[in-house]
Amino acid sequence: MFKKILIANRGEIAIRIIRACKEMDIKTVAVYSKADALSLHVKFADEAICIGEGPPLDSYLNIPRIIAAAEISNSDAIHPGYGFLAENSQFSNICKENGFCFIGPDSKTIALMGDKVNARNAAEDSNVPIVPGSNVLSSADELIEIANNIGYPVMLKASGGGGGKGMRVLNDASEAEKGFSIIQSEAKKAFNNPEIYVEKFIKNGRHIEVQILGDQFGNYVHFGERECSIQRNNQKLIEECPSSFVDKELREILTLKSIDLAKKVNYVGVGTVEFLVDEDKKFYFIEMNTRIQVEHTVTEMVYMIDLVKEQIKMHYGKKMSFTQDMINSKGHSIECRLNAEDPFDNFIPSPKKIESLNFPGGIGVRIDSYIYAGYQIPPFYDSMLGKLIVHSSTREKAIVKMQRAIEETFIEGPNTTLPLLEMILSNNDFINGNFDINFLSNFLKNIERG
Ligand code: MV4
């Protein structure tokens, strides 16, 4: 096994990875910015190397400094976590060229899935249903012609985007000309890639994703689906495993198609295949994420597996130690994201000092976090402070447990998403599983109206 892994990340995911390494008897190297000198990942790792100032471009996104830290510490491998460099195909390649194993897919696979038009084509080649739409568009006229064929509303998307950035809904042809130039210039600016494409807009869908795992010998398994519809601006707030909307039949086909795609691209490691599922349970591939995701924990609770350990083993080159028929799910898990944001003021970040803190406990309660009482939240990074995850035998019991766990949680100092989470957990539509991707924005509108 690897002797030493450098973690090119911070916050709760850096700690999550350190925990897996400790239990595997792998030494860990933390890298940190000056703003993170007092962060827990620095204390928990065996070694820690400061790589620059607070702003991400000077530290967690600074490839030469991370590679230098891996060299100085004599690390074998680099784990990117999520965000930052996790889906940077160049970084995957640079790690490899410098003799470090990148704990993620090879640069070709990251680049393929990072290009959403190519990802659509890979899905189509694997007989995975995609949203009716186009390849790269060359003009607004071409957009109008294709949109007329598939029918409005349509969604314009940046091929280099994904994760909700660089998207726009067009309701009719009169919006096409302007939409085309806006999204094209946004795409050029944000992703350094002006390529855009169009898809039919799937109304009132659910956002459902499948967790897959592949080794380097062509073996693939899945760990069911996650329900990720409770989100806004592509920031998920609550995730579940399984989805109460997905029946046995739908699960079978979603997971089968996900593995077909993974096989087609010789995928190695953990990956997530994202789908939109409409009211008639028709499903459409939208993207594939080539990283460990924030919400991997709900899958871990239900399948009783450590996905980060499996990910590390797969990239070391171990053969998968189980087959699909050995994998069983049990019960239901829910995750709530604890963010330092004001949910009642447009989720404005609130990077303050944690004045006092109490985390919940009890059977089936898991906290993946990095904050402690007295910790000053730096202003430079994502506002997620941690995740509260519960597991119980049924969805109903998991909801009750989450309500109880939220009641026990106190985070004083910053504004947090806790009061909003408490309200959603007691909402009848949420409790009845009666929601889609519009739930959160409608819920917030209703609060405003009082
Ligand atoms: C869509 C869509 C409807 N139709 N594509 C958002 C994030 C990215 N992963 C894909 N996303 C979507 N793509 C088509 N053709 C709906 C979403 C979407 C969404 C849209 C508006 C508000 C909330 C949303 C939540 C999840 C997904």
Tell me, what's the pLDDT at 22?
98
Tell me, what's the pLDDT at 182?
92
Nearest CA to ligand 1 atom 20: 437
Burial classification of residue 352, based on how many CB atoms lie within 10 Å of its CB (0-12 exposed, 13-18 middle, 19 or more buried)? middle
Q: Is the beta carbon of 272 within 6 A of some atom in ligand 1?
A: no
Q: Is the beta carbon of 388 within 6 A of some atom in ligand 1?
A: no
Q: Does 131 have pLDDT greater than 90?
A: yes
Catalytic residue of the set 206, 226, 291, 395:
291
pTM over 0.95? The answer is: yes
Q: What is the arithmetic mean of pLDDT over 93-121?
A: 98
Q: What is the arithmetic mean of pLDDT over 140-163?
A: 94
Q: Does 234 have pLDDT greater than 90?
A: no
What is the per-residue pLDDT across 366-389, written as a single tens digit (0 to 9) for each? 999 999 999 999 999 999 999 999
What is the per-residue pLDDT across 274-292, written as a single tens digit (0 to 9) for each? 999 999 999 999 999 999 9
How far is it, in rounded angstroms, from Cα 369 to Cα 389?
Answer: 11
Rounded to the nearest angstrom, the distance between the alpha carbon of 222 and the centre of ligand 1 is 23
How far is it, in rounded angstroms, from Cα 212 to Cα 8?
Answer: 23
Q: Would residue 291 show up in a list of annotated catalytic residues for this protein?
A: yes
Rounded to the nearest angstrom, the distance between the alpha carbon of 205 and the centre of ligand 1 is 8
Q: Does 450 have pLDDT greater than 80?
A: no
User: What is the chain's mean pLDDT, rounded?
Assistant: 97
What is the per-residue pLDDT across 15-70, written as a single tens digit (0 to 9) for each? 999 999 999 999 999 999 999 999 999 999 999 999 999 999 999 999 999 999 99
Nearest CA to ligand 1 atom 12: 164
Rounded to the nearest angstrom, the distance between the alpha carbon of 405 and the centre of ligand 1 is 30
| Other CB atoms within 10 Å distance of the CB of residue 408 | 13
With a pLDDT cut of 90, the percent of the chain lying above it is 97
Tell me, what's the pLDDT at 110?
98
Q: Does 220 have pLDDT greater than 90?
A: yes
CA distances from 220 to 171, 255, 319, 327 (A): 41, 11, 10, 12
Q: What is the arithmetic mean of pLDDT over 342-367?
A: 98
Q: Is the beta carbon of 155 within 6 A of some atom in ligand 1?
A: yes
Rounded to the nearest angstrom, the distance between the alpha carbon of 164 and the centre of ligand 1 is 7
Tell me, what's the pLDDT at 163?
72
Q: Does 423 have pLDDT greater than 80?
A: yes
How far is it, in rounded angstroms, from Cα 265 to Cα 122?
Answer: 8
